[in-house]
Amino acid sequence: MLLDQTNKIKNIAAAKIISIFYPNILVCTEHGKCFKLTLSKREKNDSLFWEEMHRIYEASLWVPVGKKYHQLLDEGWLAPDQTYS
């Protein structure tokens, strides 16, 4: 299920990476608000994470970020599966 089919979309913003310099990643939302992403200790120390961030930056892709805590979302644009009983 896509997030735009749930109420969670109100807490998520699409952002484009505008600058990467370790240990910071700056992004701007589609509405022009710019901020530094809040990264976990694990993300800061993960070389694969930084390589992927550079690839996303070079491709000019939009990434989902939480509006309140300015963190990348683990599930991307997909909502977690719900089981129906």
Residues 6+ apart with CB under 8 A from 8: 79
The upper half-sphere exposure of residue 15, i.e. CA atoms within 13 Å in the direction of its Cβ, equals 26
- Cα–Cα distance between 10 and 18 in angstroms, integer? 23
Structure token digits, residue 60: 């000019």
- 8 in a structural domain: yes
Query: Over the chain, what is the mean pLDDT?
Result: 85
Residue 13 in domain: yes
Q: What would the pLDDT profile of 18-33 be if each residue is shown by its tens digit?
A: 999 999 999 999 999 9
The residue ranking higher by pLDDT, 34 or 1, is 34
- Percentage of the chain exceeding pLDDT 90: 60
In the chain, the number of structural domains is: 1
Q: Which domain holds residue 22?
A: 3-66
Q: Tell me the whole-structure pTM to 2 decimals.
A: 0.77
